[in-house]
Amino acid sequence: MSFPDCPVIVRMLDEFPLSTESDPKDWVGLIPHHFAYRVEGDPLYGAQSETWRLVEGSPTHYRFMTGAGCLDIITCGEPHFALIDN
C-alpha cells in the first residue's frame, strides 16, 4: 500500500485502545471481512494541526484493520495497493 506524492501521518496500534476512544453506540459502518475504511470524526484526525489540514487540502483519514492490529493514515492522497510476491 502506498500514497504517492503525499505526506502522511501514521498511527499503528492494536484494536483494544480503539474501543476506549469512542462510545460503541457511535460505531457505524463496520462490515465483516473488510479491512479498509474511510473514517470521519475520529479523535486522531481532530488532534492534528488545523494548519496542516488546510495546507494539505482536506486530507482523509483511512483505517486499515488487520487481525488484532490497526493502521491509521491521514493523507491527501488515495491509497494504491499492490500484491508483492515473496
Mind listing the pLDDT tens digit for each residue in 2-49?
888 889 999 998 766 565 566 666 666 667 777 888 988 888 999 999
Measured between alpha carbons, how far is 38 from 19 in angstroms, rounded to an integer?
17
Which residues share a beta bridge with 12? 71
Residue that is written with C-alpha cell 479491512 in the block: 35
pLDDT average, residue stretch 37-66: 90
Amino acid identity of residue 17, one-letter, is P
Taking the whole predicted model, whether its pTM rises above 0.75 is answered as yes
